[in-house]
Amino acid sequence: MVCALVEVHRMGIIHRDIKPENILLRSDGTAVLGDFGVARRIYRAQRHEQMEYIVGTPYFMSPEQALGETEDESTDIYSMGAVFYNMLTGEKPYRGETLEMIVYQHLHAPVPKLPSCYRHLQFFLDRMMAKDKEQRYSATALLNLLGELSLTA
């Protein structure tokens, strides 16, 4: 999936709704990123000053999406981090009974901790789901780190 983000971002597109339901598996087991219904060109998203509604799925949205702030490639990285957590644990990273409770956690709660069997991957999650988008990996940096991890494993 990170390869897909590298290519999408290279083309100047932000997906804006990365969630498990938008990751499709081909018959050979490879993953495909689907549903670009709310995707935007990066330059347009950065110049859009007023948001009238939240775009994205609350369980997987970035803090900047929740606040209606400028979105960029790091928006997708945050959401990919939330999916990564969900993939490893079977749980959503933040849960609540209302939209406001979920959004509050995306804005203020610490990055969720992975179970001990996945603690060696916590540093990836911490950077992917950093509240400050400047602290998040780029898709290319993340792909390179994952490649290094697979070489040393």
Catalytic residue among 17, 72, 126, 132: 17
pTM (2 d.p.): 0.81
CB 34 within 8 A of CB 22: yes
Helix (H) or strand (E) holding 33: strand 31-33
CB 33 within 8 A of CB 4: yes
Q: Any catalytic annotation for residue 72? A: no
Give bridge partners of residue 41 from the DSSP assignment.
Answer: 13
User: Residue 97 has what pLDDT?
Assistant: 87
Q: Helix (H, G, I), strand (E, B), or coil: what is residue 41?
A: strand
Q: Domains in the chain, ordered, with CATH?
A: 2-152 (1.10.510.10)
User: Residue 151 has what pLDDT?
Assistant: 58
User: Residue 41 has what pLDDT?
Assistant: 45
What confidence tens digit (pLDDT) does each residue in 69-110 have? Answer: 888 899 999 999 999 999 999 999 999 888 888 989 999 999
What confidence tens digit (pLDDT) does each residue in 39-64 have? Answer: 444 443 344 444 344 445 789 999 99
